[in-house]
Amino acid sequence: MKLDELQKLAQMVPHQQGPQLQEWLHEQLISMGLNPNNLYQELEMTSRYVDTHRDTSHANAQLQLHSHTFFELLYCASNCGVEYLVGSERYRLQQGDIVFMPPGVSHRPLLPENMASPYIRYVLWISMDFMKWYTDLTPEADTPNKVPAAFLLRTSGTPFEYLGEMFLSGVKEAEAKTDGWQAAVIGNTIQLLTQLRRAAKGRAAHALKAEQPELLDRITTYVEGHYAQPIVIADLAKQFFVSSSTISHVFKQKLGVSFYRYVTQRRLIAAKTLIEKGQRLEAVANQTGFSDYSSFFRSFKQEYGISPRQYRKLQE
């Protein structure tokens, strides 16, 4: 589903807000044959270049581990105690924090159970083609022909606090859709990327430090490095000197999914990246830890609603 299609769906019920709107959208997406829990995995860009919007999640929202085929930038616009998992690193966000994620990087927010206020963020999606064009314009960049790595910046209390206004400016243009708004969003994005690069390079903004590793972090780090191999929870329990039930409880409490579901999600994200690179589907299954192609096919179809072959055709 493209972003503008979801926005039109939400506008059909302007009298509903917050959790009530989310519940209504949940029911509508199910009726359309889509998996609401994997909505962020299934969303596609509307523009060939740049999309931007504001997004709000409440305490009962179920946001799963996912990745994208485009670049994603998030500006955290609220203080709600949300944590963010990027790969195997976990960060505690506050208002003014910026998260930059390249295509193929697994990520998801970790929402507190008793979240007093909603998790509000301004979201910017940038296509691979647009990012290549931008880096070609900036030959002084460190890695003009290389995909930038994921990074997180804290702008609060720094000279770059104004970046939040730049994110919001693009969102307002996309919401108002007045004459020339697409060009305004693209121009704003070019300026924003330039200021972000200066902030990251000059260290005037502070790079976020990952939280002190807990059991969850140690296990997700292990999964990141071993998802292509067989992973058995009993073996991990011995390695980390805990019980299997402790691991299961931590994943259910922190991520809202079982341990094996998390492992499958991480393998499927890696599989998507390999499919996009043109790998044979049978080889993809072998390289991402599935016992055979049938198991890979069932997991992919269940998670994304389409087969691996259909996903390849969509990318082509």
Question: Is the Cβ–Cβ distance between 1 and 43 less than 8 Å?
Answer: yes
pLDDT computed for residue 300 by the predictor: 94
pLDDT computed for residue 91 by the predictor: 94
What is the residue type of 110? L
pLDDT computed for residue 22 by the predictor: 59
Q: What is the mean pLDDT of each run of 10 residues along the chain (316 residues)?
A: 56 55 59 56 83 89 87 96 93 95 93 89 96 84 60 91 97 96 97 91 75 93 95 96 96 93 96 94 96 95 90 85
What is the residue type of 241? F
Q: Whole-structure pTM over 0.85, yes or no?
A: no
Question: Is the Cβ–Cβ distance between 90 and 65 less than 8 Å?
Answer: no
| Alpha helix segments (H runs only) across 141-258 | 163-176, 181-202, 215-226, 233-239, 244-255
Question: Is the Cβ–Cβ distance between 69 and 165 less than 8 Å?
Answer: no
Domain spanning 215-315, CATH class: mainly alpha
Please report, for the chain, the start and end positions of each structural domain, with discontinuous segments joined by +.
38-207, 215-315
Domain spanning 38-207, CATH class: mainly beta
Question: Is the Cβ–Cβ distance between 58 and 87 less than 8 Å?
Answer: no
Q: How far is CA 33 from CA 28, 260, 310, in A?
A: 9, 24, 16
